[in-house]
C-alpha cells in the first residue's frame, strides 16, 4: 500500500506550535473548551467521517488556500463563539477535540506528521487539568486520548483531501459568497467553494463515487444538505 502525504494547512488553530520535548512535556493541558482558539474558530478543517455529526448544524464546504481546497465546517461568520448557534457550541470537530495538540504546519499531513503543542494560555479552565507526561515520564491519559484523535484526523484527512483534489480537477467547484452586512459592518468568510449543482446531474462525479465509495457519497450528499444550515 502506498501512503500519500498531503500538505493541507490548518489555519487559525495552532498559532504558535512548539516541539514536544524537554520542559514542554511537564506542562499542563486543559479541556479543549478552555482555550480561546477552540471556542472562537469560525472555519475549521474537518474530514469526511465527521460529516454526519456536523452537517446538521454547520455548512460543510471547501476553502481555497495556497492552491488547494480544504474541507471545512463553517461554525459562524466571525471568529467569536457568541456568533455560533448556542446549542452547537459543544459540538467540536476532531482537530479541535485534540487541542492544544496539533500537527507541524511545515510538514505534509501523513502518518509521520509530527505532533506539536500550541503555546497558548488556557484562559477559561474549569479544572486543574493534566500534565502532558506523568512523573514516570510516560504520556498521560489526557495526552494519549488526544493523540488518538489526531491519528484519526490524519488517517481520514488523506482521503478527504484526495476527494477535494479530484473535484477541483474536474472543475466542479464554484465560489460561495458568504458575506453580509451586520449593523453596518461587512462580515465575510472568504475563499469558500461549493460543488456546482449541475455536477450532481451530469454524472461527472460518478467515477469519484466508484473509487471512494461510501466516504465520498456521505461527504458529497451531506455537503449539499448542510448548505441549508447557512442561515
CB 63 within 8 A of CB 192: yes
pLDDT band at 231; cut points 50, 70, 90:
low
pLDDT value of residue 56:
93
Q: Express each pLDDT in 90-99 by its tens digit.
A: 999 999 999 9
* DSSP 8-state assignment for residue 157: H
| C-alpha–C-alpha distance, residues 219 and 93, integer Å | 15
Per-residue pLDDT reduced to its tens digit, 167-225: 999 999 999 988 888 777 888 899 999 999 999 888 889 999 999 999 999 999 999 99
For residue range 41-71, list pLDDT tens digits in order: 999 999 999 999 999 999 999 999 877 889 9
pLDDT above 50 for 10: no
Which residue has better confidence, 113 or 224? 224
DSSP 47-105: -GGGHHHHTTTS-EEEEEETTEEEEEEE--SSSSGGGS-GGGTT---HHHHTTTEEE-T
Q: The sheet that has 43-45: what strands, in order across it?
A: 43-45, 68-74, 60-65, 192-195, 173-175
Q: Indicate the pLDDT class of residue 11, thresholds 50, 70 and 90.
A: very low
pLDDT of residue 148: 96
Amino acid at each position: 500500500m502506498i501512503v500519500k502525504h498531503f500538505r493541507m494547512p490548518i489555519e487559525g488553530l495552532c498559532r504558535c506550535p512548539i516541539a514536544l520535548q524537554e520542559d514542554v512535556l511537564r506542562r499542563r493541558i486543559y479541556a479543549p473548551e478552555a482555550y480561546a482558539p477552540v471556542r472562537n474558530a469560525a472555519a475549521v478543517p474537518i474530514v469526511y467521517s465527521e460529516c454526519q455529526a456536523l452537517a446538521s448544524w454547520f455548512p460543510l464546504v471547501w476553502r481555497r488556500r495556497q492552491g488547494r481546497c480544504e474541507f471545512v465546517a463553517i461554525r459562524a461568520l466571525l471568529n467569536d463563539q457568541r456568533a455560533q448557534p448556542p446549542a452547537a457550541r459543544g459540538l467540536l470537530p476532531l482537530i479541535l477535540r485534540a487541542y492544544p495538540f496539533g500537527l507541524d504546519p511545515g510538514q505534509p499531513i501523513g502518518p509521520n506528521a509530527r505532533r506539536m503543542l500550541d503555546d497558548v494560555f488556557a484562559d477559561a479552565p474549569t479544572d486543574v487539568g493534566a500534565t502532558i507526561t506523568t512523573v514516570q515520564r510516560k504520556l498521560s491519559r489526557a495526552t494519549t486520548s488526544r493523540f488518538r484523535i489526531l491519528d484519526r484526523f490524519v488517517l481520514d484527512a488523506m482521503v478527504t483531501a484526495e476527494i477535494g483534489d479530484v473535484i477541483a480537477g474536474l472543475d466542479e467547484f464554484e465560489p460561495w459568497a458568504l458575506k453580509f452586512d451586520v449593523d453596518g459592518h461587512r462580515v465575510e468568510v472568504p475563499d469558500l467553494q461549493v460543488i456546482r449543482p449541475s455536477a450532481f446531474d451530469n454524472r461527472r462525479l460518478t467515477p469519484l463515487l466508484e473509487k471512494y465509495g461510501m466516504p465520498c457519497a456521505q461527504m458529497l450528499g451531506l455537503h449539499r444538505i448542510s448548505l441549508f444550515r447557512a442561515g
